[in-house]
Amino acid sequence: MKHIIPLLAALALLLIPAAGVHAQSGGTFQLDWFTADGGGAIGLSGGTFDLGSTAGQPDAAAAAGGNFTLQGGFWNPSSAAPLAVTLASFTATTDGQQVLVSWETVSELDNAGFNLYRSETPDLPDDPLAFVPSQSPGSSQGHVYTYRDGDVEPGLTYWYWLQDILLSGVTTLHGPVSVTVAAPTAVRVASLTTGGGADSVIWLILAAVGLILSGWLAITAVRGQRRPQA
């Protein structure tokens, strides 16, 4: 690519496709500027000047010659961009015979939602357990999320992963966290119920009367055996 720029004043700005910014000052001359798409060195000369610079790669240099001064440089933005979803916490706890998975976000920029994964081993499964939509999409504010997993068995350990999904499709995985569902320690006694309404009540009364009579007869028999013989 070639740009021909006549410089007639004290200052002119030259922008090149390689994201460089150059400023020239002084003199009157014609500059033929070339850029190398793959990077490399470029030499320029003409009139009362001779200069060399680089293009297509990060560089900051100052060159002077004749009646002018050339300064150039490239600005490289940092690759450590702020996270779109900042996670404050991610936990899994038992709640009775269920597992309560909770997480809290600090911010959710361009967040579509979360995939929640569960496994009975420390290995990440292929398919998510559930998808939870974002409650703060595009917001700098966070939110608290909970998911109640009732499809668990006592005595087993479960691992959970959380995956945030941006609107662009980029995903970030968090976890895993694990929890063991405790086996029940109390014996549950089933209650004995009878049906039939009034008939059931009558039968219960008759049974009670029968028990009373049986007891009275037994006591009477014992007393009769203890009476002295005439």
The label of the residue with tokens 């000047």 reads 49
55 and 93 in a single domain? The answer is no
Is the domain of 98 the same as that of 146? yes
Confirm whether 9 is domain-assigned: yes
Please give the residue range of the domain that contains residue 56. 2-74
Under a CB-based contact definition with an 8 Å cutoff, are residues 113 and 132 in contact?
Answer: yes
Query: How does pLDDT run across 197-220, given as a tens digit for each residue?
Result: 566 677 778 877 787 877 777 777
Q: What is the number of domains present in the chain?
A: 2
Of 61, 17, 20, 55, nearest to 36 by C-alpha is 55
pLDDT at 20: 43
CB burial of residue 128 (10 Å; 0-12, 13-18, 19+): middle
Question: 94 and 176 share a domain?
Answer: yes
Statement: residue 160 has pLDDT above 70:
yes
Structure tokens at 177: 């966290």
What percent of the chain has pLDDT above 90? 37
Q: Which of 179, 178, 174, 180 is nearest to 116 (CA)?
A: 174
Instruction: Tell me the C-alpha to C-alpha distance, in Å, between residue 62 and each of 51, 54, 138, 144, 200.
Output: 10, 11, 43, 54, 106
Same domain, 31 and 112: no
> Are residues 63 and 32 part of one domain?
yes
Instruction: Judge whether 215 lies within some domain.
Output: no
Tell me which of 135, 161, 180 is where a domain ends.
180
**Residue 208 falls inside a structural domain:** no
Listed as own residue / partner, the contacts of 126-133 with beta carbons closer than 8 Å and 24 or more positions apart are 128/163, 129/160
157 and 106 in a common domain: yes
Closest CA to 33 of 63, 66, 67: 63
In a domain, 68, yes or no: yes
Q: Provide the whole-model pTM.
A: 0.48
Instruction: Check whether residue 99 and residue 41 sit in a common domain.
Output: no
